[in-house]
Amino acid sequence: MDTLSSNIASACPLGFSNTGGEMFLRAVTTMIAAHCSIINNGEWPDDRTEEVIKKSNVGESYDFIIVGAGTAGTIVASQLSNINPTWSILLVEAGENPDILSEVPAFLFLNQNKKNDWKYKVKPNGKSCLAFEDNSCIWSKGKCMGGSSSINAMIYIRGHPQDFASWGKSWDYNALLPYFEKQEKYLNISDHDKVDDNKWYEIISEAWKELNYTSQKNQNYEAVIGTKRAKLLIKEGKRYNTGKVYLQRASKQMHIIKNAHVEKIIIDSVHKKAIGVRIRQENSKVFDVMASKEVVLAAGSIATPQLLMLSGIGPEHHLADKDIPCILNLPVGQNLQDHLTVPLFLKTNLDINLPSDAMDLYLLQYMLNRSGHLSTIGITDFVGFINTDNSSNQPNIQFHHMYYPKSNKISLKRYLDGVGYRKEIVDNVINLNNNYNLLGIYPTLLHPKSKGTISLRNKIPETNPVILSNYLEDPNDVQTLIKAIKFIHKLENTDNFKSLGIEINDINIKECSHHTFDTDIYWDCYIRHMGMTIFHPVGTVKMGDDDNSVVDFNLLVRGLKNLRVVDASVMPSIPGANVMAATLAIAQKAVDIIKLRYSQKEEL
């Protein structure tokens, strides 16, 4: 602190002289120190790379190796480390500690295409992502400690109970409920950090009420038809990173290695069991680490199937094409599902514009006490659920919301550029915003019929895989989204929306200009151009007991011993909500499965 004060004083010696100057110097120093404390690397466990290498060099193994320090992997590693004091645990992460952008809730849309992001891009299919550079949507996934819990929207919703009916009896909603409740108690999710002075919450809620939809308030964590403010993983004004939360409670026998890319799983092909992993560091040094009990893959729905296929586990014909010997012929990389969202921009005469110097004041407020608008995610936490056919109480559309004041200079362009829209699309939306205040409404397809694949580009581990999303391959998906847009028209006709002049605007997509605005064929074109991921890919290492599954109901790779998968890739079907809650529940249940397996062995 003294060094900091001296440096500040030397920049403006007269301004900080005498008693009054000392008081100002103390205030400025305190503010800067408060800013520095926003990100505290001491909150993350140390990198133990040198110890790991020494241990492997003398032939010592770990009991468990967990690949991926993300949402699921950190839970598994931390809790396993506290089950048995004799167990040694290694957690391997390809990235490093997240940076300051990750910590500030309001900056959540500034995390795309940064160092903490894998920066995946989907392969064009000619039917979707047509307004994006190269007709390819960007899929951001966390490449850092905490994984995607370091860059996501922090929204916690379990989904609807029916969402889990296809997962099998041991994984249905009733089976998962104790794990949802356990983590909610553990994380102490609450609403006390929320800023409640945003007019949009009441405006949107009242418009829905005019259409006879209930405001659910915060009565539960489920995806229920109606509106609600979702629970958020924010605490004391900062992102409540699940990785950080769980790893802070890990025992000392857990070692972590960062900036380390797992290239393959080492498999004993004779005995059909996983025995270790091959790791490449950033300096290109390669070494093997052995596991005496299990290797647990928690690298996510893209990296986990990629790693399995690089290790010889996957579709036989595909592995042969990449010159990789096939150890197990399994449908790895199939069954890919994701939530597609379509941004709609509605002009409004409600002006909640901020003075030009307001952001500076908000920054100062946040630096000092982690409060104010930077401690929230705006109205992104306000969600609505409908079933477009009124055929079930299980929603098939979720609505998210954002507000962009006229001539927004802070977030809109960065957001549009960050997700990858073409320049002319970005310019069109910005020009619209220069003339109007905009309410963004984002209908999101919860149960897509279209499914994609993950496949290898080549057998080089550092190369990103081929992601074929197959968005909108099934025409039913387009029709469901068109029905969602027609629901927004119903909102336009409510007294609440009409009083504020809220109506959908045409953003003049040239490829759609030959269609009459607001016709079904126009919206078909619009959806195929503007539809984008909401960053929820799942299902690529499907759990089950049929020929289309890769892991069994204990999450073990079928036909192989000691290799388990614990992340969103095992989901047989995608939950109808933000998928973080379900991923956490999978990890919690996996810990109990592992604990039971080895307690039974030790009893024998």
Residues placed in the known binding site: 262
At position 340, the amino acid (one-letter code) is L
Please report the sign of the dihedral spanned by the C-alpha atoms of residue 55, residue 116, residue 239, residue 395.
negative
Is 375 in contact with 234 (CB distance < 8 Å)? yes
Structure-block tokens of residue 569:
């890739």
According to DSSP, the β-strands at 397-404 and 437-445 are antiparallel
Strand, helix or coil at 340?
strand
The angle formed by the CA atoms of residues 551, 557 and 563, to the nearest 5 degrees, is 135
- How many residues belong to the chain? 604
What CA–CA distances, in Å, run from 227 to 220, 344, 487? 12, 18, 14
What whole-number distance in Å separates Cα of residue 378 and Cα of residue 361? 17
Please report the sign of the dihedral spanned by the C-alpha atoms of residue 236, residue 239, residue 244, residue 245.
positive
Is 167 in contact with 571 (CB distance < 8 Å)? yes
- Residue list for the binding site for FAD: 262
Structure-block tokens of residue 274:
């996983």
Which among 395, 385, 499 is positioned nearest to 442, based on CA atoms?
A: 385
User: What residues pair up with 256 in beta bridges, in sequence order?
Assistant: 91
What whole-number distance in Å separates Cα of residue 119 and Cα of residue 415? 15
Strand, helix or coil at 33?
helix
At position 153, the amino acid (one-letter code) is A
280-283 contacts at long range (C-beta below 8 A, 24 or more positions apart): 280/461, 280/462, 281/49
